Amino acid sequence: MLILLSNDDGIDSEGLLALREAIAPGNEVWVVAPEAERTCIGHAITLHKPLRIKDLGNRIFSTNGTPADSVLLALRVVLRRKPDLVISGINKGPNMGQDVSYSGTVAAAKEGAFVGIASLAVSLNGRTDFLFRDACRSVLDIVSKIGAAGLPTHTLLNVNIPNIPYEAIKGLMVTGLGKRIYNGNIIARTDPRGGTYYWIAGDGESFESIEGTDLQAVDQGYLSVTPLHWDLTAYTSMGEYKKIFL
């Protein structure tokens, strides 16, 4: 298969390097990713400054753009043909529940889904001591299942992997997005000129305990795959909105 890899942790991230190495046998793998970390940049694309692509050799390219820019440039400039698969990751840290809206990792995969390519975002649920080699084995399992059949149109797959040895994973669950409980911590400090500045601490380690969600599945040691649709229309609420407005 022709596979495009990207991420939001930057071109030098271990998660990306490990995935490239694991997926290379039997596939034609290209890497186009941001030159530096762009975590939490969401689906931003760059309109007001020039974008550059650096050829690092061995089908590896870095860009000064966002994750979404990188996939766009990969498809339109670097590859100029449709890959069979776009994989974004492996991200250092989970992308579950509301994370999906903030995530550059998910956005890179979404950019692939926009043009009808089977796309996956892959994240590892750890904060330190990432078991990337184990996580790569799970990714290979998923990729072999998707195979040439691809994914349903207009969808992408959001994969979250428990940071435990491959053999310890209890199985795979097809999940829905859960809900994190953010503590809302914003730290206020004083700068050298006496002005106040803020750091968003963003601790969202706790979550609502709901069966069948990504957060619950990964917490219980399951590999979580969540189908996402980039059409955000709330079709099930259309009736209620019609009652309000019509």
Of 8 and 35, nearer to Mn ion (C-beta) is 8
User: Using N-to-C axis directions, what is the helix angle for 132-146 and 14-23, rounded to 10°?
Assistant: 50
Cis ω for the linkage preceding 90 (within 30 of 0): yes
Q: Collect all residues with Cβ–Cβ distance below 8 Å to 156 and sequence separation of at least 6.
A: 106, 109, 110, 112, 113, 119, 120, 121, 227, 228, 230
State in angstroms the smallest separation of the CB of 91 from Mn ion.
5
As a whole number of angstroms, the distance between CA 73 and CA 211 comes to 39
CB closer to Mn ion, 86 vs 196: 86
Q: How far is the CB of 9 from Mn ion (least distance, A)?
A: 4
Q: Considering beta carbons, is residue 42 or 176 the nearer one to Mn ion?
A: 42
Query: 83: which residues sit within 8 A by CB, 6+ positions away?
Result: 1, 2, 3, 4, 30, 75, 112, 117
**CB-based contacts of 56: which residues, under 8 Å, 6+ apart?**
11, 62
In the complex with Mn ion, the residue whose CB is nearer, 6 or 91, is 91
Give dist(CA 200, CA 40) in Å, integer. 12
CB of 38 or CB of 169, closer to Mn ion: 38
- 102 or 210: whose CB is closer to Mn ion? 102
Tokens of 125: 């649920």
Side-chain half-sphere exposure of 145, counting CA atoms within 13 A: 11
Question: What is the smallest separation between the CB atom of 125 and Mn ion, expressed in angstroms?
Answer: 13
Q: Which residues bind Mn ion (CB under 5 A)?
A: 8-9, 39, 91
Give least dist CB 37 to Mn ion, A: 7
User: In the complex, what is the shortest distance from the CB of residue 63 to Mn ion, in angstroms, rounded to a whole number?
Assistant: 16
Shortest Cβ 88–Mn ion spacing (Å) = 10
